[in-house]
Amino acid sequence: MRIPRVDPKDATGLFDKVIGLGKEITGEVFDQERLIEAGEAQQAKGTEKLKAIREQAKADAHKAKAKSFDAKERAAQRAKV
C-alpha cells in the first residue's frame, strides 16, 4: 500500500478546520460568541481550501488524460503516413 505524499500547503485546510473547531468549542465553553464565530469562519475557510485541493486534483487528472489521448492521436497520425 502506497501512502500519498501530502504537500504542507495542502495541509493548511485541515489545520484551519481543526483550529477553528477548537476555537468554536472554547467559545461555547466560555460563552464567547466572538470566539464561536471566529471558529466557524476558520472552519469554513478550511473546508473551502480542501474543496479547492480536490478540484485541482480532478483538473490535473483530466489534463493527464487529455495528454495521453493527444499522444495516441499523434502516434496514429504518424502510423498513417
Answer yes or no: is 1 within a domain: no
- Residue 71: Cβ within 10 Å count: 10
Assess if residue 2 is contained within a domain. Answer: no
Query: pLDDT per residue over 44-70, tens digit each?
Result: 999 999 999 999 989 999 999 999 999
Query: Domains in the chain: how many in total?
Result: 1
Domain residue limits at 41? 11-80
- Report if residue 6 sits inside a domain: no
In a domain, 38, yes or no: yes
Averaged confidence pLDDT in the chain: 91
**Continuous H helices in the chain:** 11-29, 33-80
At 14, give phi and psi (nearest 5°).
-65, -40
Domain assignment of residue 3, yes or no:
no
- pLDDT over threshold 80, residue 4: no
